[in-house]
Amino acid sequence: MGRDTRRNTRRRRAPLATRMIAGAAALAVGGGGLLWADFHASAHEPGGGAHGRTTAAAGTPVATIKCPDVGQWLRNVPRGARAGVDRELAVLDRQITEAYARLAATRGAQAGDAAYVQNAILGPLKSRRTASLDRIGVNFRRVGGSTPGWLGRLAGCKGMPAGRPDSGGGAGTGGGAGSGAGAAGPVAADFVDIKKVPPNSRGAANGLAANGDTGSTGSFTTACGVNGNKLHNSDNIIVAPGVDNGAHHTHDYVGNQDNDAFSSDQDLANADTTCRNRADRSTYYWPVLRLQDGTKEFDAGDLGGGAEGNVGRILRASQAQIRFVGNKRGDVVAMPRFLRVITGDAKAFTNGVANANSSFSCTGFEDRQVTDKYVLCPRGSKVVRTANFQSCWDGRNIDSANHRDHVAFVQPDGSCPNGFQAIPQLQIRLVYAVPAPKVAGGRVRAPYAVDGFPEQLHKPVTDHNDFINVMDEDLMNRVVECVNSGKDCR
């Protein structure tokens, strides 16, 4: 093992601006007599047509802050600039988190001053973001690149109501009272009785039909446990390498045991693994699921945990099924070692649902899958989280500037987009015994929720999953052989 991985559970002292979240986050949703406004911008260009201007609309509460997701716009970053750009993207995330803390902690001031949010929160946030965007430009120019002309238009942010994602489509609804557990969300309307979800409602969306009765019909299952080692941290080695607390929420890890923001590919290759097959040192990680029951977890006062609104008892999955399946149009090719794949969007509530890929269900009802709600399961049934990953690869890159462009989902007929080739599709199914929340009178008591960025209000649509392939070449070739030959291997 390359380094001491005990640092994965290191404690972090929360800075003052972030510590305000734990005590104030429950105020962020709804509440009579608080500031009411809505802020609009066009979705057709970076920063929106309003260029950061705000307009009020009566009857809509400002629950959180929406900023352009700069990392998703930066699709062509010179390789020599990526490390510096990644650090600035992490700074931008921290700025939003701190601005949200001020929003949640100043409801009284907002009630007495209609311009408070703009003057005291959004205006200063725009100034800080402008400085970070300028530094991103410096990183481009330092390696001979040119700064995108539209970059400065991404500085402005806006207030956002709780009741909908910014761009249409079915993300978590309901702006009523918070859970009352010291966190902003989830709310009662974020839950649905699984019996009310139509069967086969997701169809072939997001690669669910990638594997069929034609093409490559086999599978390979790898057994890596359920994080019995309690390996947790709030880093994100893919999105924010070299940045402490880059995720702003806590992850479960199975497989590779050297997962933190500072792990190199060599560290991953030399690490221990929880996988039964020791040749699989891949890292599989996802945000923890918590029961907001008042439990003080190990990270109750830390960044990524309670200091950023992620509160309550961490629930360990009773099952973590990890398998690779084929493509219904033909054979698959081997994944390259150290391929990085993110599925879903941790910021889907404010970004909109274009990259959302969450899926909640209940055992015994898994023909019913829902993206924008947490599920209420009947007695004896357990909560299921499913992540079906992108299964097309560009044939060249193990990552891309926005961590998405090098992979893609299959098209409706199961084929890959032009220039992409089919790889084994990773499917992760997590099963949890979750005490059923009590939902009544527009309130939810003791809800469960995935960890997330505090400004995302714990919406279910923000669930996501991450993977780095660290199988050795022989094992990956065996995966491909099993999938292409129609065998079911373990």
Candidates 50, 16, 44, 242; CA nearest to 155 is 50
Question: 137-151, 201-215, 336-350, 364-378 — which is least confidently predicted?
Answer: 201-215
Q: Taking all residues of the chain, what is their mean pLDDT, rounded to a whole number?
A: 85
pLDDT digits (tens, 9 = 90+) for 285-295: 999 999 999 99
- Classify 389 as helix, strand or coil: coil
* Distance separating alpha carbons of residues 107 and 49, to the nearest angstrom: 28
Q: Band the pLDDT of 57: cuts 50, 70, 90.
A: very low
Q: Residues 287, 248: contact at Cβ < 8 Å?
A: no
Residue 311 one-letter amino acid: V
Higher pLDDT, 408 or 160: 408
| pLDDT surpassing 70 at residue 29 | no
Query: What phi-psi label fits residue 227: left (phi over 0), alpha (psi between -120 and 50 degrees) or beta?
Result: left
79 or 281, which is more confident?
Answer: 281
As a whole number of angstroms, the distance between CA 268 and CA 5 comes to: 11
Residue type at position 1: M
Domain boundaries, given as residue ranges, for the chain: 31-160, 188-489
pLDDT score of 404 more than 90? yes
5-19, 82-96, 324-338, 356-370, range with the lowest pLDDT: 5-19
Which residues partner with 219 through β-bridges? 325, 488
Report which listed range, 12-26, 128-142, 150-164, is most confident: 128-142
Query: How much is the pLDDT for 184?
Result: 85
Q: What is the Cα 277 distance to its own chain's centre?
A: 28
Q: What is the mean pLDDT of residues 92-102?
A: 96
Q: What is the rounded distance in angstroms from the CA atom of residue 474 to the CA atom of residue 480?
A: 10
What is the bridge-based pairing of β-strands 64-66 and 158-160? antiparallel
pLDDT number for residue 62? 80
Match 């509160």 to its residue by tokens: 311
Q: Is the pLDDT assigned to residue 52 strictly greater than 90?
A: no
Q: Answer whether residue 446 shows pLDDT above 60.
A: yes
CA distance linking residue 121 with residue 472, whole number of Å = 49
